[in-house]
Amino acid sequence: MRVYVGKITSFHGVKGEIKIKSSFEYKEKAFLKGTHLIIDNHPFKIVNYRRHKDYEMILLDGFSSLNEVLFLKNKKVYKEKEELNLGKDEVLDSELLNYKVVTDKLKEGIVQEIFLASKDNKVIRICVDNKEYLIPYRSPFIKKIDKENKKIEIEWMAW
């Protein structure tokens, strides 16, 4: 299964360094040196990775100049999910959609959306009793994510 990890926006310098804009939750795994990115259904090996401001900066194997990578501008970048090597408790945001939500007050609902409310604040939109609520995607609001049963336990605040 392929997972969207970002988009190539531009380049840096003359040695073919690529700038990727990404809000992917596991960047340190997605852009790991020695792994691959999928661009236009073709795998490209990452030979170098660094962060610069709000961008992921990568060098791809076989490319050593700006002119060689220009064809990649504005392309979407994907990763094979298996290559991410996610831990037992790690789950992709896209997989959380339609997870069952259970509250400490025994209310139940469904995850409808996950989005960035600001640069560093992710929010989950849930539907409980036919009403929508926004929950910060962090502790102490999110108590537990159960991948096996597709369930999220949350702290129910007095809304």
The closest of 50, 48, 37, 49 to 76, measured between CA atoms, is: 37
Note the CATH number of domain 2-84: 2.40.30.60
**pLDDT of 158:** 52
How much of the chain is in helix, strand and coil states, percent to nearest 5? 10, 50, 40
**pLDDT of 87:** 85
The CATH number of 93-154 is which of 3.30.1180, 1.10.10, 3.30.200, 2.30.30? 2.30.30
pLDDT per residue as tens digits for the range 96-105: 998 999 987 7
pLDDT per residue as tens digits for the range 5-21: 999 999 999 999 999 99
> What residue segments make up the domains of the chain, in order of their start?
2-84, 93-154
pLDDT per residue as tens digits for the range 39-59: 999 999 999 999 999 999 999
Mean pLDDT taken over the chain? 91
Q: What is the pTM of this model?
A: 0.80
